[in-house]
């Protein structure tokens, strides 16, 4: 028991000693940590002091550098100011010199220009006065010509005042257009289109009928309502609307009376076409007539009359010529087909003759083949015999020549 107690006591003492050792170690470690912390704090304070000192040094250096830079800038500014001032002075002097030289040159140029202007002005004035005098002479001459022209116009107006004269002018204009476009056989002049009537239309275009050789006339008559057109033009130039409307109504009435005249005197189907053409000799009169659309339509529907100006009539006649050509081609088609039928018959006969000739040529070619085979072989054999004979003779001659030469040598 005593031993066990001793052992227990020893163990307890050892445990206590171990605990004490651990406590001492902990205290030592804590003390060491405190020392290290204190050292670190001291080092930190030292570093902070060194940094502050370094920053003060840097600030001092920067201040020195800044002062140096300011000094350099001030010196550079002073130098640039001095150089700019010198440049300005030199430029001012050069500008003054140039200005003085330019003023001198401008004065010289002004003098020369003034001299040239005076000379050119005098020469141009002389030429302009001469041209003005020439133009005045021309104006005087043209005034005289205008007086003659006014007299001619007055005489023309007096001439046109007659209805017959105006009709002749319209007929001349119509004749010129028709004769330029149509062939002489495609129209007739002063033709009574209505049977047993004394009324003769100025121009009748010959249209092909249903049967070959028959013709249907297209009546074309010219009218020239000069008074109505002159009153309309005068009202238009004066800007008088009531007078303009009145003149247009008068022109429409004139066109209606002309259309009725053409319908009653010249249109008579089937001897004529169911419509006629009222020709107006001027484009201005035709344009004014076209403005009255209702009247133009009434004339076309009720009177079967179409209004045409110079250009419209020319286009219509050109279209008719194309139609005439097409119709002539169609009429000639039957004759062409007959001719082609005859050609076909002749060609068949020619084909039969060719077949017969081909047979005869076949027989002749057979005879020729026989001649080529038999007679040619016989002639070739005869020629080969002649060739062999000639070869033997030539060989004999060649062999005899050396002997003769040897005999000559021996002699």
Tens digit of pLDDT for each residue in 158-170?
444 444 444 566 7
Average pLDDT (92-108) is 82
pLDDT at 398 over 50: no
pLDDT of residue 227: 76
pLDDT of residue 21: 84
How far, in Å, are 259, 339, 346, 377 from residue 180 at the CA level?
26, 35, 45, 82
* Beta-bridge partner residues of 206: 217
pLDDT at 400 over 70: no
Distance CA 369, CA 372 (A): 5
Average pLDDT (122-134) is 75
pLDDT of residue 268: 85
pLDDT at 396 over 60: no
pLDDT of residue 404: 45
Distance CA 306, CA 243 (A): 27
Q: Which of 158, 155, 217, 225 minimizes the C-alpha distance to 191? A: 217
The answer to whether 266 and 219 have CB atoms below 8 angstroms apart is yes
The answer to whether 272 and 216 have CB atoms below 8 angstroms apart is yes
The answer to whether 220 and 279 have CB atoms below 8 angstroms apart is yes
Convert the pLDDT of each residue in 299-350 to its tens digit.
888 888 988 888 888 888 888 877 777 666 665 566 666 666 666 676 566 5
Q: Tell me the three state secondary structure of residue 197.
A: coil
pLDDT of residue 158: 46
Q: Which of 308, 284, 291 minimizes the C-alpha distance to 223? A: 308
- State what percent of residues in the chain have pLDDT above 90: 0
Strands (E), 236-320: 276-279, 305-308
Convert the pLDDT of each residue in 187-245 to its tens digit.
888 888 888 888 888 888 888 776 666 788 889 888 877 777 778 788 878 887 888 88
pLDDT of residue 99: 80
Convert the pLDDT of each residue in 355-388 to its tens digit.
676 677 667 666 656 655 665 666 666 666 655 5
Q: Which of 229, 243, 202 minimizes the C-alpha distance to 289? A: 229
Q: Using pLDDT thresholds of 50, 70 and 90, give the confidence band for residue 397.
A: very low
- State what percent of residues in the chain have pLDDT above 70: 71
Q: Which residues contact 340 (CB under 8 A, 6 or more apart)?
A: none
Distance CA 326, CA 151 (A): 52
Distance CA 398, CA 105 (A): 119
pLDDT of residue 161: 47
| Longest CA–CA separation in the chain, Å | 190
Give the chain's length.
411
Distance CA 282, CA 287 (A): 9
Quote the mean pLDDT of the chain.
76
Q: Using pLDDT thresholds of 50, 70 and 90, give the confidence band for residue 19.
A: confident
Distance CA 248, CA 297 (A): 16
Phi, psi of 222 (to 5 degrees): -100, 140
For the record, the structure tokens of 387 come out as 């060739």
CB neighbour burial string for 224-261, b if at least 16 within 10 angstroms, e if fewer: bbbbbbebbeebeeeeeeeebeebbebbbebbbebbeb
pLDDT at 250 over 80: yes
pLDDT of residue 407: 46
Distance CA 160, CA 281 (A): 13
Element (H, E) at 221: strand 215-222
Strand order in the sheet with 187-191: 187-191, 201-208, 215-222, 276-279, 305-308
N- to C-terminal Cα separation, the chain: 185
pLDDT of residue 344: 62
């Amino acid at each position: 028991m005593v031993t066990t107690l001793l052992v227990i006591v020893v163990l307890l003492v050892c445990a206590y000693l171990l605990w004490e050792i651990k406590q001492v170690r902990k205290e030592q470690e804590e003390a060491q940590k405190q020392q290290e912390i204190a050292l670190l704090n001291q080092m930190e304070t030292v570093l902070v002091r060194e940094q502050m000192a370094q920053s003060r040094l840097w600030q001092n250096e920067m201040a020195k550098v800044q002062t140096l830079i300011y000094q350099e800038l001030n010196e550079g500014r002073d130098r640039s100011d001095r150089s700019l001032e010198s440049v300005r002075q030199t430029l001012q002097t050069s500008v003054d010199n140039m200005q003085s030289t330019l003023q001198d040159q401008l004065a010289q140029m002004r003098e020369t220009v003034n001299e040239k202007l005076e000379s050119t002005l005098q020469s141009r004035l002389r030429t302009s006065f001469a041209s003005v005098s020439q133009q005045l002479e021309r104006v005087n001459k043209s005034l005289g010509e205008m007086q003659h022209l006014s007299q001619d116009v007055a005489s023309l107006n007096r001439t046109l005042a007659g209805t017959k004269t105006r009709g002749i002018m319209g007929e001349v204009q119509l004749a010129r257009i028709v004769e330029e476009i149509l062939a002489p056989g495609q129209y007739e002049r002063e033709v009574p289109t209505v049977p047993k009537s004394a009324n003769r239309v100025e121009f009748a275009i010959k249209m092909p009928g249903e049967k070959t050789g028959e013709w249907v006339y297209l009546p074309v008559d010219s009218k020239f309502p000069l008074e109505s057109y002159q009153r309309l033009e005068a009202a238009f130039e004066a800007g008088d609307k009531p007078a303009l409307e009145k003149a247009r109504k008068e022109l429409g009435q004139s066109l209606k009376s002309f259309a009725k005249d053409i319908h009653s005197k010249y249109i008579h189907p089937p001897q004529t076409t169911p419509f006629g053409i009222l020709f107006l000799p001027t484009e201005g009169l035709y344009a004014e007539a076209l403005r009255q659309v209702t009247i133009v339509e009434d004339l076309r529907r009720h009177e079967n009359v179409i209004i045409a100006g110079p250009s419209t009539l020319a286009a219509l006649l050109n279209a008719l010529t194309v139609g005439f050509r097409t119709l002539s081609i169609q009429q000639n088609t039957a004759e062409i087909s007959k001719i082609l039928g005859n050609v076909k018959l002749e060609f068949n006969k020619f084909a039969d003759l060719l077949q017969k000739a081909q047979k005869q040529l076949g027989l002749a070619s057979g005879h020729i083949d026989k001649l080529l085979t038999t007679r040619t072989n016989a002639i070739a054999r005869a020629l080969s015999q002649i060739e062999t004979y000639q070869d033997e003779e030539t060989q004999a001659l060649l062999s005899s020549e050396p002997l003769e030469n040897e005999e000559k040598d021996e002699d």
